[in-house]
Amino acid sequence: MTVPHARPHATDPAPTPAPIRPSPTVDVAGLQALLDGKEHAIRDTVRALLATPDFAHLYGQSTADYRERVLVWTQKLAAAGLGALSVPEAQGGQGNARAFVAAFETLAYHDLSLTIKFGVQFGLFQGSVQLLGTTWHHETFLPAISRGEMLGMFAMSELGSGSNVRDLETTATYDATTEEFVIDTPHGGAHKEWIGNAALHGRMATVFAQLITGGISHGVHAFLVPVRDTDGSPMPGVRIADTGEKEGLNGVDNGRIWFDDVRIPRSHLLNRFGDVAADGTYTSPIESPAHRFFTMIGTLVGGRITIALSGLSAAKSALTIAIRYGNRRTQFGPEGGNHTPLLDYRTHQRRLLPALATTIVLDVALSRLVDRYAAMEPGESREVEGLAAGLKAYTTWFAQSAITEARECCGGQGYLKINRIAVLRADIDVWTTFEGDNTVLVQLLAKGLLTGYRQEFDEMGMIRFLTRRARSAIRALNPVAARRDDEDHLRDPQQQVSLLRYREERILDRAAARLRAAMKAGQGEAGSASMGGVQDHLMHLATAHVERESFEAMQAEVERAEPGLRPTLALLRDLYWAAAVERDLGWFLMSGAVETPKAKAIRYLVNKCCAELRPIAEQVTDAFAIPDALLAAPIAFDPLPTAGN
């Protein structure tokens, strides 16, 4: 997956550039309303709560103190009712998953350890009980969990099985004589690893284990296992260790857990997708074990969406700080002294402004995904899961690189914790790894697209399928369009989207063809490596898909927008598009869809859009409405600090 990387690219501009268009006027309130969406009220509630003095940022505290502080914060959020947003009304909640997602996203303007601790408790742990359990579990556990009285964990990963969840080794063996499951860690390396809330605060865990009954394994299922007494000591048979110091997120107490024949009642199986009767008989509404596994895992897709959204919030904070600083900090000047605001430098614009445009586009794309997720029909789940996987990977890689660039754009100031970007940088690094490693997720999306491709092919019949493809290829490969380098053409959303569609379809065709060829080559060495041999195609395919989907989501907003907001959105769309195509210019040129004059004009368009966005960039960040107390970085405010003198 080629992700946005804010470093300046070279340009080889068209010979007679048209003048820079005037910058649009930003309707900040309108843009904020668009970004805040239907759930604006809960966002404002969270903003106000986090801006209170209780939540002030602190740096340089010990890990023990930090964990304690994050625990207290988490309990304050629960006390404010934020833990219960997605819980059914019957269990005292609001039954509003969208509000929960919006709250989570807004929380990520603050300390990311708090975001993750909150997510472990009210997203992963509570979500697993809600989505994998049935009425008894809901009634028995959700009220206490959602109020933060029963702190818990989501214990899926093992040291030996990280990305490969399906082959995890913890066992849950049913004992019909006592009507209990016996949870066991079969060997040292099969313990639960990295588990949030395990080292100190969690009392109950959703443990994923291979369900065995009557000597037969039925695959991975989830079980509620008490791991700590009310006084905090581990339950008999449970051993817990601290994961230790991490690069970031040290306010979260990650831990390891070993189970030594720990017995839990039969009722503690979260039995929505598979159940064991008192006599040990296994039943499931889903026949195929593979299908069952993916359905179970699929219910957890909400976690991926929130991780993507929270990563994007962190990028918003970092970009806001760097853009505000870039408007205030001056360095060098034509006649000596320091008179040039950093954002006047083209390099600086290229480092920050395409990233700002991408941030808005990804926000819009993720909102649309949340809508689809909330309205998900059973048949549509593959698409939603695939897109969630792809957007999680794309957004978190993007956030990582945008935050790195923002740090560097603030020079030495960016390296100080008090200016926050550096702290975000250390925390965000793991966003690419947890809730599904990005490289693995991207392949999940690509494989889903290939499956869809095969189905379409089978359903339509080869001839119709190929005809349709050929038509779209002709549209995109129009030799006039491939050479046109005038601005009206380049900024026409029709041609923009057709180029992105063409890329996706063509890569899909090629990947499918290559895969078929590799599979034909037999089960030998080439055969077993068939997926491996197209792995890099799959990465590219996923990028092309995510960028096209995101573009379309943005274009829909441009069309829907009030006339006052439309020019700003169109500019952001143009910059996003031009930067995305520029990153992959080699491919577009090789494919013939773009020829040299157009390629040069696209590079030049990035510069032009940057120049248009530059005067209004700070206003665009105002629409994120990050409260001053949360933004906090002294370098983001007037006057710039003179370090206490």
Ligand X SMILES: Cc1cc2nc3c(=O)[nH]c(=O)nc-3n(C[C@H](O)[C@H](O)[C@H](O)COP(=O)(O)OP(=O)(O)OC[C@H]3O[C@@H](n4cnc5c(N)ncnc54)[C@H](O)[C@@H]3O)c2cc1C
Residues that bind ligand X (CB under 6 A): 120, 154-157, 162-163, 194-196, 246, 249, 254, 329, 331-332, 342, 345, 347-348, 408-409, 411-412, 415, 430, 433-434, 437, 439-440
Which residues is 174 bridged to in the sheet? 181
Parallel, antiparallel, or unpaired: how do β-strands 180-184 and 238-242 relate? Answer: unpaired
Q: Does 241 bind a second copy (CB under 8 A)?
A: yes
Scanning residues 329 to 388, which ones bind a second copy (CB under 8 A)? 331-332, 334, 336-338, 344-348, 350-351
Give the nearest distance from C-beta 578 to ligand X in angstroms: 21
Report if residue 294 touches a second copy, rule: CB under 8 A: no
Residue 13 CA to residue 584 CA, distance in Å, equals 17
> Measured from the CB atom, is 86 or 543 closer to a second copy?
543
CA distance 159 to 191: 6
Give me the phi and psi of 574, to 5 degrees please. -60, -40
Tokens of 463: 């001839």
566 forms part of the interface with a second copy (CB under 8 A) = no
For residue 629, the partner it binds in a second copy, ligand X, none, with Cβ less than 5 to 8 A by kind, is none
State the DSSP H helix or E strand holding residue 576, giving kind and residue range, or none if neither. helix 566-583
Nearer to ligand X, 227 or 553 (CB): 227
Nearest to 504 by CA among 464, 462, 552: 552
634 binds, among ligand X, a second copy, none (CB under 5 to 8 A by kind): none
CA distances from 377 to 84, 239, 272, 384 (A): 25, 42, 18, 10
Minimum CB–partner distance for residue 57 and ligand X (Å)? 20
Cβ 281 to a second copy shortest distance, Å: 25
645 binds, among ligand X, a second copy, none (CB under 5 to 8 A by kind): a second copy
Which one, 143 or 533, has the nearer CB to a second copy? 533
Q: One symbol per residue from 407 to 446: x for binding a second copy (CB under 8 A), - otherwise; what is it? A: xx--xx-xxxxx---xx-xx--xx-xxx--xxx-------
565 binds, among ligand X, a second copy, none (CB under 5 to 8 A by kind): none
Tokens 């250390």 label which residue? 426
Window contacting a second copy (CB under 8 A); options: 125-133, 187-195, 218-226, 354-362: 187-195
> What is the C-alpha separation between 520 and 113, in angstroms, rounded?
49
| Residue 140 contacts a second copy per CB under 8 A | no
State the sign of the Cα–Cα–Cα–Cα dihedral 522, 528, 533, 537: positive
Q: Which is nearer to ligand X, 122 or 577 (CB)?
A: 122
Give the shortest CB-493-to-ligand X separation in angstroms: 32
Q: Which value, in Å, is the radius of gyration of the alpha carbons in the chain? A: 26
Which residue, 59 or 136, has its beta carbon nearer to a second copy?
Answer: 59
**Rounded least distance, CB 413 to ligand X, Å:** 6
Assess whether the previous peptide bond of 186 is cis (omega < 30° from 0). Answer: no
How many Cβ atoms are within 10 Å of 457's Cβ, its own excluded? 15
Name the 3-class secondary structure at 222. Answer: strand
Which lies closer to ligand X via its Cβ, residue 84 or residue 120?
120
Residue 201 contact among a second copy, ligand X, none, beta carbon within 5 to 8 Å by kind: none
Helix (H) / strand (E) element for 204: namely strand 204-213
- What are the residues whose beta carbons fall under 8 Å from the beta carbon of 371, sequence distance 6 or more? none
Does residue 442 contact residue 449 with C-beta atoms inside 8 Å? no
**Closest separation in Å from C-beta 1 to a second copy:** 7
Q: Which is nearer to a second copy, 497 or 589 (CB)?
A: 589
Measured from the CB atom, the residue of 157 and 404 that comes closer to ligand X is 157
- Please select the residue that binds a second copy; options are 5, 110, 228, 268, rule is CB under 8 A: 5
Specify the DSSP class assigned to residue 166: G
Among 16, 19, 53, 62, binds a second copy (CB under 8 A): 62
Q: Residue 216: helix, strand or coil by DSSP?
A: strand
Rule CB under 8 A: is residue 16 a binding residue for a second copy? no
Rule CB under 8 A: say whether 245 interacts with a second copy.
Answer: yes
Binding residues for a second copy restricted to 477-516, rule: CB under 8 A? 507, 510
Helix (H) or strand (E) run with residue 226 in it: strand 216-226
For 289-324, b/e burial (b = at least 16 CB within 10 A) is eeebbbbbbbbbbbbbbbbbbbbbbbbbbbbbbbbb
Q: How far is the CB of 545 from a second copy (least distance, A)?
A: 13
In order, the DSSP letters of 265-312 are EGGGB--SS-EE-TT--EE-S---HHHHHHHHHHTTHHHHHHHHHHHH
First-last CA distance in the chain: 48
Task: Find the shortest distance in angstroms from Cβ 148 to ligand X.
Answer: 17
Give the residue, chosen from 316, 447, 537, 548, that forms a contact with a second copy under the rule CB under 8 A: 537
Contact residue for a second copy among 54, 89, 175, 536 (CB under 8 A): 536
Structure token digits, residue 370: 């949340």
Contact partner at residue 156 from ligand X, a second copy, none, CB < 5 to 8 Å by partner kind? ligand X
- DSSP character for 486? -
Binding flag, residue 163, a second copy (CB under 8 A) = yes
**C-beta of 277: minimal distance to a second copy in Å?**
28
> Nearer to ligand X by C-beta: 112 or 593?
112
Location of structure tokens 């997956």:
1
Instruction: Report the distance separating Cα 2 and Cα 415, nearest Å.
Output: 27
CB of 523 to ligand X, least distance (A): 19
Strand partners, 226: 204
Tokens of 90: 């019957």
Instruction: List phi, psi (to 5°) of 300.
Output: -90, 10
470 binds, among a second copy, ligand X, none (CB under 5 to 8 A by kind): none
66 binds a second copy (CB under 8 A): no
Site for a second copy contains 288 (CB under 8 A): no
- In angstroms, give the least distance from the CB of 408 to ligand X: 5
